[in-house]
A = this chain, B = another copy of it.
Amino acid sequence: MKNTSALAETAALWAAVRFTADGLVPVIAQQHDSGEVLMMAWMNREALEETLVTGKACYWSRSRGRLWRKGESSGQTQKVLALRLDCDGDTILLLVDQTGVACHTGRRSCFFNEVGPTGEITVVSAPLVTPEALYGAEGHSHP
Contact = CB atoms under 8 A, between A and B. Distances in A.
A84 B11 contact: no
Contact of A121 (B7, B13, B104, B107): B13
B84 A124 contact: yes
Interface centre among A37, A53, A115 (most CB of B within 10 A): A115
A120 interface: yes
A93 interface: yes
A35 to B, nearest CB: 2
A137 interface: no
Given A16-B121, A118-B8, A28 B40 contact: yes
Chain A interface size, as a band, is 35 or more
- The majority secondary structure among interface residues of chain A is loop
A13 to B, nearest CB: 4
Interface in A19-49: 26, 28, 30, 34-37, 39-40
B35 A36 contact: yes
B35 A119 contact: no
Interface in A62-117: 82-89, 91, 93, 103-105, 107, 110-115, 117
Interface of A: 7-8, 11-14, 16, 26, 28, 30, 34-37, 39-40, 52-53, 55, 82-89, 91, 93, 103-105, 107, 110-115, 117-121, 124, 142
